[in-house]
Structure 1
Amino acid sequence: MSTAIHTKPEEARQREQIVEFGRSLFERGLTAGSSGNLSVRLDNGWLLTPTNASLGRLDPARLSKLDWDGRLIGGEAPSKEAFLHRAMYQQRSGAGAIVHLHSTHSAAVSCMCGLNHADCIPPLTPYFVMKIGRLPLVPYHRPGDPALAGAIGTLARKHSAVLLANHGPVVSGSTLEAAVYAAEELEETAKLFLLLRDVPTRPLDAQQIDELKSAFGLDI
């Protein structure tokens, strides 16, 4: 059952953004059914999409609002993957939002054998390096397994995004817009990675990556 809460203008704006970006992701096939969840950091807690909610049909008034102990302050019951978001926020003070999707190509990569667990998609484009950096693979955990929080937290100290094995990506950003754009870039690079599986490729080398770091002030 939802709890009525009064929102400040900035929080109201963030709620509308979650609805807007959720609908966009859903309509473009980057999430299906009730899969995936979005969250945004506030000055008095954080917003998260509710459990069993389609990102294409969100209601700003029904979004879950939680405190930093994970307790529900208002709105509908949160996604069972709330701990996943909280673990990343706890390790990344600059993260203003998090996007978790089951997007097709990223999820497909997460099911492959032989990945480099420390860096599971090569730096095929400068845009992947700029928005994602190095992408580690989190070992498989069942959905809702609390142990996943520790696994994500350890990696989130050094990485803005991780790929959950047999599951999908978790991507943070300074804003919801930035996190969504990074998640989209990850999905497109995963698509390239799959298209090029049997083709000799030329990923960016260390010198080219260092040049990107210097030119754009990247911390990856």
Structure 2
Amino acid sequence: MTETKAREEICRTAKSLFDRGYVHATAGNIRVRLEDGGFLITPTDACLGFLDPARLARLDAQGQQTSGDRASKTIALHMRIYEAARAFDADTACVIHTHSSHCVALTLSGASDELLPALTPYFVMKVGHVPRIHYHRPGAPEAAAEVAQVIAQRGAAGVPIRAVMLDRLGPNVWHDTPAAAMAVLEELEETARLHLMTRDHATPPAPLSPEQIAELRATFGARW
């Protein structure tokens, strides 16, 4: 993807997320790897609904800013995600972080190591496991280290992941393009919404069975 196209795609994706309520105020950020090994990332404290393509922060391959408005405070986290995820998915090029309401709500109670069970086939197929990351302040290097460790552990176990959930903050998802990463985020947030709607029912929905998940793995290459 050319730099011009990447700038356009970041702003298009950001506006779509903002317009539909996946991000609010100045929360969230998007980062894309460029053909020359550098990166573009949304500026710190910028509203994703009103980005200027020319003002996106430009970083070199080491994550040092070279132009644009001041980069998001999540640079360290995004760099660690790229490094860890590309060991198992060489095409990883885009990371999206939001404060999506239903995902965050699920971290405010309960102590599960994963955000969600295998509730729907498309969650299993398009998202996969979503490990929860202990709470750290926004931009904390400890969060970046924990995320990288989790990505490496899951990948080494033969179940690469495309998302993690930062407790009380929001999800980070990654894929090869902004559009693909946004699709992962949308499926994740929708599944979180369904879970919140149904978990207090007299008979909460059971997750998919091992046999059903095995069929999704065999048919669609689902990562579960």
CA distance in 2, matches of 1:217, 1:54: 36
CA distance in 2, matches of 1:218, 1:192: 20
What is the aligned counterpart of 1:216 among 199, 209, 220?
220
Instruction: Give the CA deviation at 1:193.
Output: 0.9
Q: Contact between 2:125 and 2:223, CA under 8 Å: does it hold in 1?
A: no
Give matches, 1:135-174, under 5 Å.
135-157=130-152, 158=154, 159-174=161-176
Q: Contact between 2:124 and 2:223, CA under 8 Å: does it hold in 1?
A: no
Match of 2:22, SS state, is: coil
What is the aligned counterpart of 2:205 among 197, 201, 204?
201
Corresponding residue for residue 185 of structure 2: 183
Corresponding residue for residue 97 of structure 1: 94
Q: Which amino acid aligns with 1:62?
A: R
Match of 1:56, SS state, is: helix
Instruction: Report the TM-score when normalising by structure 2.
Output: 0.90
Match of 1:98, SS state, is: strand
CA distance in 1, matches of 2:108, 2:182: 22
Corresponding residue for residue 24 of structure 2: 32
Corresponding residue for residue 71 of structure 2: 78
CA distance in 2, matches of 1:209, 1:162: 20
Corresponding residue for residue 45 of structure 2: 52
CA distance in 2, matches of 1:77, 1:18: 16
Instruction: Report the TM-score when normalising by structure 1.
Output: 0.92
Q: Which runs of 5+ in 1 are unaligned?
A: 1-8
CA distance in 2, matches of 1:132, 1:31: 19
Please, what is the CA RMSD of the aligned residues? 1.3
CA distance in 2, matches of 1:107, 1:68: 31
Where has structure 1 moved over 3 Å in runs of 4 or more? none
Corresponding residue for residue 18 of structure 1: 10
Q: Which amino acid aligns with 1:153?
A: A
CA distance in 1, matches of 2:62, 2:2: 22
Could you tell me the percent identity over the aligned residues? 42
Q: How many residues align?
A: 210
Instruction: Give the CA deviation at 1:20.
Output: 0.5
Instruction: Give the CA deviation at 1:217.
Output: 2.0
Deviations 1:2-55 (A, max 9, x none): xxxxxxx81101110111110010011110010000111112211110011000
Q: Contact between 2:29 and 2:98, CA under 8 Å: does it hold in 1?
A: yes
Instruction: Give the CA deviation at 1:120.
Output: 2.3
Match of 1:162, SS state, is: strand
Q: Which runs of 5+ in 2 are unaligned?
A: 155-160
Select between 183-192 and 36-45 the one with higher mean Cα deviation. 36-45
Q: Which amino acid aligns with 1:204?
A: L
Change (3 A) 1:147 1:68: farther
Corresponding residue for residue 43 of structure 1: 35
Q: Contact between 2:30 and 2:94, CA under 8 Å: does it hold in 1?
A: yes
Corresponding residue for residue 80 of structure 2: 87
Deviations 1:149-198 (A, max 9, x none): 10110112332100001111000112111100100110000001111121
Corresponding residue for residue 3 of structure 1: none
Instruction: Give the CA deviation at 1:218.
Output: 2.9
CA distance in 2, matches of 1:53, 1:62: 10
Change (3 A) 1:34 1:142: same
